[in-house]
């Protein structure tokens, strides 16, 4: 494949991460593109470099680990042209031992219909949720996101699934992300427009609206419906 075409392809792929939406592009990347080795190489180099910068002792070691981190940024920029500053800020600026990020999604039901919110960023629909905050538990995060995004007061009940994102989505994450799906009991709900969502609604399994692809898939929502129907459902770890 010509180098120019490859660069354009991965520019499309990576900006999905940079901006959190695919609204800038005519298509989403395929799973084949997602699995290209350059992404894995850059992620592994960045992880090694971050650990080295944290635990290295001599100035010689720290200098070499910084060079490795710089190389990981160069790899990302070569294929995406997102700009080294933006890539550094989002991909290579953390300190300490690198650990996965956590995204929590809430499955809230009413009359066998699931609660979803329409995202401002792309106009598509997702389960209420987002990145977990420090100092808050999974239960607290799930309840907070439901209230903030959907105006729903809920009581988290059980874990439906913990997914590693890059095994379930048709685009790459430049770091490991765990997505936790939590079934919640609805107490009451009254939506108000907020900084993140435009509206909220309940949808049946076979009448889902256009989905925000980077936040949840149709298969994941179907899994939530399946869990709802089984009192003894066992959480899925994948």
Residue 20, judged by CB atoms within 10 A of its CB (0-12, 13-18, 19+), counts as: middle
Is the distance from CB of 119 to CB of 126 less than 8 angstroms?
yes
- If residue 160 lies in a helix (H) or strand (E), which one and from where to where? strand 152-164
- 94 token code pair: 């953390």
> What's 216's domain CATH number?
3.90.79.10
Instruction: Print pLDDT tens along the chain (238 aa).
Output: 344 334 434 444 444 444 443 332 233 444 444 446 888 888 889 889 989 999 999 999 999 999 999 999 998 888 777 888 888 888 888 888 888 999 999 999 999 999 999 999 999 999 999 999 888 999 999 999 999 999 999 999 999 999 998 888 877 677 789 999 999 999 999 999 899 999 999 999 999 999 998 899 999 999 999 999 999 999 999 8
Q: Let me know whether 53 and 105 are in one domain.
A: no
Question: Whole domain around residue 125: which residue ranges?
Answer: 101-237
Number of domains in the chain: 2
Q: Let me know whether 152 and 193 are in one domain.
A: yes
**How many whole angstroms from its chain centre is CA 229?**
26
Instruction: Decide the pairing of beta strands 113-119 and 125-126.
Output: antiparallel
Please tell me whether the overall predicted TM-score, pTM, comes out greater than 0.85 for this model: no
User: Of 91, 110, 127, which one is at a domain's C-terminal end?
Assistant: 91
Residue 96 is assigned to a structural domain of this protein: no
Q: Let me know whether 121 and 154 are in one domain.
A: yes
Residue 128 is assigned to a structural domain of this protein: yes
Residue 105 is assigned to a structural domain of this protein: yes
Is the distance from CB of 51 to CB of 190 less than 8 angstroms?
no
Q: Let me know whether 10 and 60 are in one domain.
A: yes
Is the distance from CB of 139 to CB of 133 less than 8 angstroms?
no
> Helix %, strand %, coil % for the chain, to 5?
40, 25, 35
Question: Tell me, what DSSP letter sits at residue 230?
Answer: -
């Amino acid at each position: 494949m010509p180098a120019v075409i490859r660069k354009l392809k991965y520019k499309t792929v990576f900006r999905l991460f940079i901006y959190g939406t695919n609204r800038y592009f005519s298509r989403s990347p395929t799973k084949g593109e997602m699995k290209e080795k350059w992404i894995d190489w850059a992620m592994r180099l960045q992880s090694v470099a971050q650990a080295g910068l944290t635990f290295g002792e001599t100035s010689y070691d720290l200098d070499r680990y910084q060079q490795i981190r710089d190389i990981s940024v160069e790899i990302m920029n070569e294929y995406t042209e997102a700009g080294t500053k933006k890539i550094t800020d989002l991909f290579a600026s953390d300190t300490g031992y690198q650990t996965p990020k956590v995204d929590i999604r809430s499955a809230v039901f009413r009359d066998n219909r699931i609660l979803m919110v329409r995202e401002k960023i792309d106009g598509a629909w997702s389960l209420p949720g987002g990145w977990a905050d420090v100092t808050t538990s999974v239960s607290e995060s799930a309840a907070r996101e439901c209230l903030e995004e959907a105006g729903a007061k809920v009581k988290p009940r059980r874990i439906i699934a913990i997914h590693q994102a890059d095994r379930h989505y048709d685009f790459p994450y430049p770091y490991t992300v765990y997505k936790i799906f939590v079934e919640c009991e609805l107490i009451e709900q009254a939506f108000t427009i907020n900084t993140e969502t435009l509206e909220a609604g309940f949808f049946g399994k076979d009448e889902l609206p256009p989905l925000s692809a980077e936040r949840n898939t149709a298969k994941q929502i179907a899994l939530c419906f399946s869990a709802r129907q089984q009192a003894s459902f066992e959480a899925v770890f994948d």
